[in-house]
Amino acid sequence: MSPRRPLSKVSVNTERPSEKRKSPFVDTNSRLPTTPPKCKTLSLADFEFGKVLGKGKLGKVYCVKHRESGLVCAIKAMSKKDLVNLKLEKNLRREIEIQRDLVHPNISRLYGYFYDETNVYLILEYALYGEVYQILKTRRRFDETTASRYIYQVSSGLQYLHSHNVIHRDIKPENILLSDMGEVKLSDFGWSVKSDPLSQKRLTVCGTLDYLSPEMVESRSHDFAVDIWSLGILTYEFLVGRPPFEDDDKGTTYKRIARVDLKIPSFLSEEAADFITQLLQKNPRQRLSLADVASHPWMEKHKAHWSK
């Protein structure tokens, strides 16, 4: 599988965080708190640090345990200097404002945040099995029962987001986590945006090249339907092991997306092929709605086996 090609790739060098900080944190009496945040002064000393879980495009992520409550969670540490230099302060502010209010089984929780002189820290829900991307790389591709279960859960999370006027705009395996209960969790809301369905469409081109919709690569306005397109790309990658329009030449990828040059392997079932085709329609209005995902024949065929 070739390396990802994000439109705006960010590399943050964040070593073990320093010990200076004060900030609010939500109540941690439950694993997934649903009550409004309670103000509490925190320091990094309030957490037991475990291993580094990974290094994302915005910083390093640590597995930590909140000493007082025993809550195991993740802390994402980001350098203030890098955020300023890369002009990502607005993205981070928007990410916090959006994600802190989201409570859904298929969306990673943002419990709170704090900062010190050098870093900003996000306190996030811990997902035991990490990125689905890493699991996919190991397995090469998922069987249709596994893929359909994951896609159903992603669509459920997207329905929740859209009902709260949020467009994710960066759906891909790297931004989907897998919990100890086998639930997938949408994460990384750095490119997400609040958008009233009745307001003007968005114009910003953002996300990861292989997952961009035709309206984005053609610099046309876009709305919630870009997430539906990305769901189709995700389904294809889960089942085939690579995105459908991937090419070594970036320009060729753009052209293939724009004309929807879709080639579905013969080893996929007719139901899977139809599901992907209905999602990957050039006309955003013709794409399968999220409300109809659950009743599609591909889902109906496999849902009885999801618990096995």
* Interval 58-95: pLDDT, tens: 679 999 999 999 999 999 999 999 999 888 998 899 99
Q: What is the mean pLDDT of residues 150-173?
A: 97
What are the C-alpha distances in Å from 142 to residues 7, 110, 139, 208? 27, 28, 7, 21
pLDDT at 196: 65
More confidently predicted of 246 and 45: 246
Give the number of other CB atoms < 10 A from CB of residue 291: 10
More confidently predicted of 242 and 35: 242
Has residue 244 got a pLDDT over 70?
yes
Q: Is 188 annotated as a binding residue?
A: yes
Which tokens is 138 given? 């190991």
Q: Is 81 annotated as a binding residue?
A: no
d(CA 91, CA 75): 18
Catalytic residue among 46, 101, 143, 170: 170
- In this structure, of 80-89, 120-129, 150-159, the range with the lowest mean pLDDT score is 80-89
Return the H-helix or E-strand segment holding 47.
strand 47-56
Of the ranges 21-25, 34-38, 255-259, the best mean pLDDT one: 255-259
- In this structure, of 77-81, 105-109, 140-144, 282-286, the range with the lowest mean pLDDT score is 77-81
d(CA 200, CA 305): 42
Q: Is 174 annotated as a binding residue?
A: yes
**Domain map (residue ranges) of the chain:** 44-125, 132-305
d(CA 6, CA 209): 6
pLDDT at 58: 67
More confidently predicted of 219 and 13: 219
What confidence category does residue 6 fall into, taking pLDDT thresholds of 50, 70 and 90? very low
Which tokens is 127 given? 């997902």
Averaged pLDDT score across all residues of the chain: 85
What confidence category does residue 42 fall into, taking pLDDT thresholds of 50, 70 and 90? confident
d(CA 92, CA 220): 25
Q: What is the mean pLDDT of residues 153-164?
A: 98
**CATH number listed for the domain at residues 132-305:** 1.10.510.10
d(CA 183, CA 176): 10
- Residue found under tokens 């024949």: 297
Angle at 208 between CA 206 and CA 91, to 5 degrees: 45
**Rounded CA Rg of the chain:** 19
Helix, strand, or coil here: 272? helix
Q: Is 125 annotated as a binding residue?
A: yes
The reply to whether 248 belongs to the active site is: no
What confidence category does residue 31 fall into, taking pLDDT thresholds of 50, 70 and 90? very low
**CATH number listed for the domain at residues 44-125:** 3.30.200.20
